[in-house]
Amino acid sequence: MTRTVCPPQSAPAVRVRGLNKNFGARRVLADLDIDIRPGEFVALLGTSGCGKSTLLRILCGLDTQFEGEVAVPSRRGVAFQAPRLMPWKRVWENVVLGLSPPGSLADAASVLAEVMLEHRAAAWPRELSGGEAQRAALARALVRQPDILFLDEPFAALDALLRLKAQQLVARVWERHGFSVLLVTHDVEEALLLADRIVLMCDGAVACQMDVTLARPRDVSGPGFGAMRRTLLAWLGVSGDV
Amino acid sequence: MNTLLFRQGGMQIIVPRPQGRSGLPRPVRRLLGPVLLLAVWEGAALAGWVSPDTLPAPHSLFTTCRELAAGGELAHALEASLARVSIGVVTGLACGVGLGLLSSLTALGEDLIDGVVHMARTLPWVGLIPLLIIWLGIEEASKDALIALAVFFPVYINLVSGVRQVDPGLIEAGRTLGLSRLGVVRHVLLPGAMPNLLTGLRYALGSAWLALVFAEQVNSLNGLGYLINHAREIYRTDIIVVCLFIYAFLGLAADFSIRFLESRLLAWNGAFATS
Ligand SMILES: Nc1ncnc2c1ncn2[C@@H]1O[C@H](COP(=O)(O)OP(=O)(O)OP(=O)(O)O)[C@@H](O)[C@H]1O
Ligand SMILES: [Mg+2]
């Protein structure tokens, strides 16, 4: 299962230059530059409070109070840590909400099948388990056929086993659809398993980056994984030897 | 009720309780209370403990009811009262929802409307009857307006607080899905505020009946209130009691219609799901 990322000379899917963002007197993003190539999977790591979610909210158009240059694809999919499904709409209605022209049950069913949730299409969100709700949220992002998927710690609330399954699911749909992904995560292993490139943020700017050259499919016990993991942990200020 | 816990050293055995306590279905059990009350009342009347002029026996109320219905007076009065309530409720509901949306969705609306409504709310609306009569005349308009007022405040206040309680995360999700402002109102804010709105409506309907009673006590030429006033003049306690029962039944019917709306509109919310 090899995958070719579009060559660097093609126009970037995301282009950010000199992004500044203040909350009152506090500067949260300081002169941040970042590019994401079409089809590239980027993981964003960084200590808590360094501005990752703030960046993501700007990139998905939720926060327009910033300075700088931001260009993103107009077709975007977003999933947050909480599934944020409308409790008053059935799962399939949640999936097609906001589509124009309006989506049908059949549209929803095909994308729900992709996240293995077809049988729950008519359920209310309160009837879903945590993992199912998160998958429904992923389906809702996928049905828009996005050019980029923004994920803000989407697996953080899942238990270890479910997280593993969800990671595999994201890897699978990414390989099939070829959109770009920007994944915010706290989990170094998750970043190494999924990403083409890992970007480390510190104090509102990109501190350093690392291309993950490991062959896919990846494995935590595979060659080179441990070394990269140690490097990342050192960057984050944690000693690798536990 | 009698989950028995036996202590055996350090262990505790929790005995399961069979599900469904009584053999009678719930609606039947709930009817038992009122039926018992009626029986005691009838018994007291038959035994001669209460004079019919003070409180007529249930069986004679049925006779009175049948007489009123046969003479066409009851239908006529009901029609007039229901028309008043309908006009008042529809007007009050429309104003409450309209102004409530304006005030909860726009900053200007909130500044202009919300303060005024909360000040006006402290006025007891019953006290407005004389003013309404001077402004709108003693005919229908002042009665409709009183009912509309009684409906307006609970609808407005519950709708506004419902919209404010909607999870901001859901509003953001709606925006990332490409919903327009109107789309967010329709798919996120209104359904999110619906439980509160229905609570407000339930309370509003209760107030509406109260307002109807007050309004009809003042110079009505038709309606249930007129029937009561007329009955007082000719000393017919039975007619008064029949009319009071009809008020009660109408209130009950209103409550049931709200319950029906809740089971329909709030099926997503487990608490209201019809099993
Ligand atoms: N609405 C807001 N008003 C004021 N300050 C805010 C607001 N949102 C975020 N901040 C501040 O901005 C900084 C960056 O927040 P952000 O949510 O982007 O962090 P993060 O990197 O996502 O952290 P975490 O990993 O814990 O999610 C934090 O210090 C936070 O306190
Ligand atoms: Mg965050």
User: Which domains, and CATH codes, for chain B?
Assistant: 78-275 (1.10.3720.10)
Q: Using an 8 Å Cβ cutoff, are B84 and B90 in contact?
A: no
- Residue-by-residue pLDDT tens, chain A, 242 positions: 334 444 445 678 899 999 999 999 999 999 999 999 999 999 999 989 999 999 999 999 999 999 999 999 999 999 998 999 999 999 999 999 999 888 889 999 999 998 999 999 999 999 999 889 999 999 999 999 999 999 999 888 888 888 888 899 999 999 999 999 999 998 999 999 999 999 999 999 999 999 999 888 888 888 889 999 999 998 888 764 54
* Atom 24 (ligand 1) nearest CA: A48
User: What pLDDT, on the 0 to 100 scale, is given for residue B20?
Assistant: 62
User: What pLDDT, on the 0 to 100 scale, is given for residue B219?
Assistant: 74
User: What pLDDT, on the 0 to 100 scale, is given for residue B275?
Assistant: 41
User: What pLDDT, on the 0 to 100 scale, is given for residue A26?
Assistant: 93
Atom number in ligand 1 closest to CA A204: 14
Of A60, A82, A98, the CB nearest to B179: A98
- Structural domain spans, chain A: 86-145
Name which of B268, B269, B272, B274 to mutate to probe chain A: the one with the most chain A Cβ atoms within 10 A of its Cβ: B268
User: What pLDDT, on the 0 to 100 scale, is given for residue A180?
Assistant: 96
Are B194 and A88 inside 8 Å of each other by CB?
yes
| Rounded-to-integer distance, Cα A125 and Cα A141, Å | 16
How do residues B167-183 score in pLDDT, each as one tens digit?
A: 999 999 999 999 999 99
Is the distance from the beta carbon of residue A50 to the nearest atom of ligand 1 less than 6 Å?
yes
Are B173 and A80 inside 8 Å of each other by CB?
yes
Strands (DSSP E) contained in A82-236 are 148-152, 180-184, 197-202, 205-211
Which ligand is nearest to the Cα of residue A48, counting in written order? 1
Helix, strand or coil, per DSSP, at residue B10: coil
Are A84 and B177 inside 8 Å of each other by CB?
no
* Atom 14 (ligand 1) nearest CA: A51
Q: Using an 8 Å Cβ cutoff, are B147 and B89 in contact?
A: yes
Closest approach of B12 to chain A, Cα-based (Å) = 31
Of B174, B183, B268, the CB nearest to A87: B268
User: What pLDDT, on the 0 to 100 scale, is given for residue A239?
Assistant: 62
Is B183 at the interface with chain A, CB within 8 A?
yes
Are B173 and A84 inside 8 Å of each other by CB?
yes
User: Which among B95, B133, B124, B145 is positioned nearest to B218, based on CA atoms?
Assistant: B133
Are A88 and B173 inside 8 Å of each other by CB?
no
Which residue of chain A has the CA closest to B266? A88
Are B170 and A84 inside 8 Å of each other by CB?
yes
Please give the single-letter amino acid code of residue A194: L
User: What pLDDT, on the 0 to 100 scale, is given for residue B8?
Assistant: 57
Are B175 and A61 inside 8 Å of each other by CB?
yes
| Rounded-to-integer distance, Cα A17 and Cα B85, Å | 63
* Atom 4 (ligand 1) nearest CA: A23
User: What pLDDT, on the 0 to 100 scale, is given for residue B4?
Assistant: 53
Task: Please state whether the predicted TM-score (pTM) of the whole model is above 0.95.
Answer: no
Atom number in ligand 1 closest to CA A52: 21
User: What pLDDT, on the 0 to 100 scale, is given for residue B273?
Assistant: 55
Query: Which residues face A46 on adjacent strands?
Result: A201
**How would you classify residue B139: left for phi > 0, otherwise alpha for psi between -120 and 50, otherwise beta?**
beta
User: What pLDDT, on the 0 to 100 scale, is given for residue A236?
Assistant: 85
Burial class (CB in 10 A: 0-12, 13-18, 19+), B275: exposed
User: What pLDDT, on the 0 to 100 scale, is given for residue A219?
Assistant: 86
Distance A28 CA to ligand 2 centre (A): 12
Of B172, B178, B268, the CB nearest to A88: B268
Is the distance from the beta carbon of residue A53 to the nearest atom of ligand 1 less than 6 Å?
yes
- Residue-by-residue pLDDT tens, chain B, 275 positions: 444 555 556 778 888 887 766 678 888 888 898 899 999 999 998 888 888 888 888 888 999 999 988 988 889 999 999 999 999 999 999 999 999 999 999 889 899 999 999 998 888 888 888 888 899 988 889 999 999 999 999 999 999 999 999 999 999 999 999 999 999 999 999 999 999 999 999 999 999 988 998 888 887 788 898 899 889 899 999 999 999 999 888 888 998 999 999 999 999 987 765 54
Name which of A57, A59, A80, A88 to mutate to probe chain B: the one with the most chain B Cβ atoms within 10 A of its Cβ: A88
User: Which among A107, A110, A127 is positioned nearest to A118, based on CA atoms?
Assistant: A110
Burial class (CB in 10 A: 0-12, 13-18, 19+), B119: exposed
Of A76, A98, A124, the CB nearest to B268: A124
Count chain A–chain B contacts defined by CB atoms under 8 A: 56
Closest approach of B128 to chain A, Cα-based (Å) = 40
Which ligand is nearest to the Cα of residue A55, counting in written order? 1
